[in-house]
Structure 1
Amino acid sequence: MTAPAAAGETTGNKIDILVLAGSRAANDPVAAAAGVAYKCLAPVAGRTMLLRVVDALLAWPGTGRIGLVLDDPSTIDSLDELAPLIAAGRLVTIPARATPAESVRAAASEYLSPPLLITTGDHPLLKPEWLTRVVAEAEQGNYDVAAALARETTIRSRFPESRRTYLKFSDGPASGCNLFVVRTERGLEAIAFWRRVEQERKKPWRMARKVGLGLLFRYLLGRLSSGAAMAYLSARLELRAGLVFLDDAEAAVDVDKPDDLALVERIIAARDLARAGVA
């Protein structure tokens, strides 16, 4: 495998980016603490969280159109910086569906089309170089769909007290980075599968039928590797699914609770000091 492209470079044409910025639950703790209607509007180190995500996307040369999935398009009326992007057709608002998977499918059929890069509106630490890495490795692996993960060892070495949700693979636990690439129409089948699993998430016996009882037991017993999981998904959906492991712990830090927000603000403060040559 050849080395990934350097930060700021892409290996192909510009691609559309979908930002999932809808609310998954009422009374979001981050929104409540910030006194805003939606989490993506919460200030992070003095700048609106969603604008920080858009900043990173605009700083990446590979960005095409940006689709913002929102519960209500008026959510961003107060963000004057986005108006020129909307007027130029560079940014489009997309009504959120009942689940993230449904939102992705709707966006891909009505507004944007693969190849698509998908991230979330609560990822204010997003860096352009992560986008480059994920897209490059997805291309090199000829994947229809790929997801970015960070290994637990990478995260804990940097943030030992941070609480994250880990996938317990036999080759090492890993946490999601809210970053996906859907390179082909076939890759959208993985999103449809995700939707079906989402619908059964509170009914384990039905979920087992979706993913396979044997696979579920292997995972629960800690005997399922990340490679085997992707091989199963690829065979089940008749596509090529892959994982991209990022070696930056910040990639796994999104904002789900006020503690996360405090951590993100400390990280941004350290970044700013480093840029100023103080650190």
Structure 2
Amino acid sequence: MLGGGDPGDAFAAAHGVSVKPLIELDGSPMAAHVLRALRDSGRVRRVLYVGPTTSDIEALTDGRVTDHGTLLSNLEAGVEALRATGLPPGERVMVVTADIPMLSAQAVRDVLDAAPADAGLIYPVVRREVCEAQYPGVKRTYARLRDGTFTGGNLFLLDPALIGQFLPRLRALLAARKAPLRLAGIVGPGVLLGLLTGRLTVAALEQRVSELLGVRACALVTPHASIGTDVDKDADLELARQHLSRQS
């Protein structure tokens, strides 16, 4: 699980903690709620946590990895630490951010059950209407495709044997995400135009990402809005509090 963050995060500082996943929510750090969902799913064999911890977090994990400062560096460090513990052949790694406290054990099980066995990268996405039905008034960032309007999930599955193959390419994509001309040179102007105009299909996007990363990539449409609803502002935190209060 990725629980690191920017030490200068104003949102975390406003709540008296160094990084966002340590913000208290219903009596526990935000990250602990995510960890309980993983544990309660009964489908996660080992959990390593990347980032600063508390006793509540440590009680739910099998080990801690030092925060390396960036998303991809933390991802790589966490996967390598898991591989060092001895992953069985064919076992996949689930990467989860620590700021989705409404995640449920059933959502974890459903993603694992629906994930195609031959994909090296599985990325869940949620339809806008699903997010707004489950969490009325929620504000998310969406991408409009021909198949619908989606927000990205905050967990994904990958084959750890392929991480060295696609991480350098993924770094290049992320580095170019705010430079349209550079991004167009990587993904292709037709793909970028299709994204901007809403004419691109999910299947075409999967194919292009697969070509770019060198592994079969799958966008998995999930009915669980919690997967695509992270907490990054006070309104999100209040939504999570209300949801957890109803659950308890």
TM-score when scaled to structure 1?
0.79
Shift of 1:83: 4.7
What code does the residue aligned with 1:243 have? Answer: A
1:36 aligned residue: 17
Report the 3-state secondary structure (helix = DSSP H, G, I; strand = E; otherwise coil) of the residue aligned with 2:46.
strand
Distance 1:189 1:129 in 2: 31
**Inter-CA distance 189–132: structure 2 relative to 1 (3 Å threshold):** farther
1:116 aligned residue: 93
Q: Does the 8 A contact of 1:21 with 1:121 survive in 2?
A: yes
Q: Does the 8 A contact of 1:117 with 1:180 survive in 2?
A: yes
Shift of 1:260: 0.3
1:92 aligned residue: 63
Q: Which runs of 5+ in 2 are unaligned?
A: none
How many residues are treated as equivalent by the alignment? 242
| Consecutive aligned runs of 4 or more in structure 1 exceeding 3 Å deviation | 81-85, 110-114, 187-192
Which among 8, 12, 26 is matched to residue 26 of structure 1?
8
Q: Does the 8 A contact of 1:145 with 1:190 survive in 2?
A: no
**Inter-CA distance 218–60: structure 2 relative to 1 (3 Å threshold):** same
Q: Does the 8 A contact of 1:66 with 1:92 survive in 2?
A: yes
What code does the residue aligned with 2:64 have? Answer: T
Distance 2:50 2:127 in 1: 28
Shift of 1:187: 5.7
TM-score when scaled to structure 2?
0.88
1:180 aligns with 2:156: yes
2:72 aligned residue: 101
Cα deviation per residue 1:154-212 (whole Å; 9 max; x = unaligned)? 11223342110112211111112201000352366444332211222332222222212
Distance 1:83 1:98 in 2: 20
Cα deviation per residue 1:92-149 (whole Å; 9 max; x = unaligned)? 2112334212221232234436510011111111111222222222245x21110111
Report the 3-state secondary structure (helix = DSSP H, G, I; strand = E; otherwise coil) of the residue aligned with 2:153.
strand
Which among 56, 77, 80 is matched to residue 55 of structure 2?
80
Q: Give the superposed CA RMSD.
A: 2.1
1:136 aligned residue: 113
1:125 aligns with 2:102: yes
Shift of 1:57: 1.5
Distance 1:84 1:219 in 2: 43
Q: Which runs of 5+ in 1 are unaligned?
A: 1-18, 273-279
What code does the residue aligned with 2:55 have? Answer: D
Residues 210-249 of structure 1: pairs in structure 2 closer than 5 A: 210-249=186-225
What code does the residue aligned with 1:93 have? Answer: R
Q: Does the 8 A contact of 2:95 with 2:156 survive in 1?
A: yes
Q: Does the 8 A contact of 1:197 with 1:210 survive in 2?
A: yes
Q: Does the 8 A contact of 2:24 with 2:30 survive in 1?
A: yes
What code does the residue aligned with 1:118 have? Answer: V
Residues 199-214 of structure 1: pairs in structure 2 closer than 5 A: 199-214=175-190
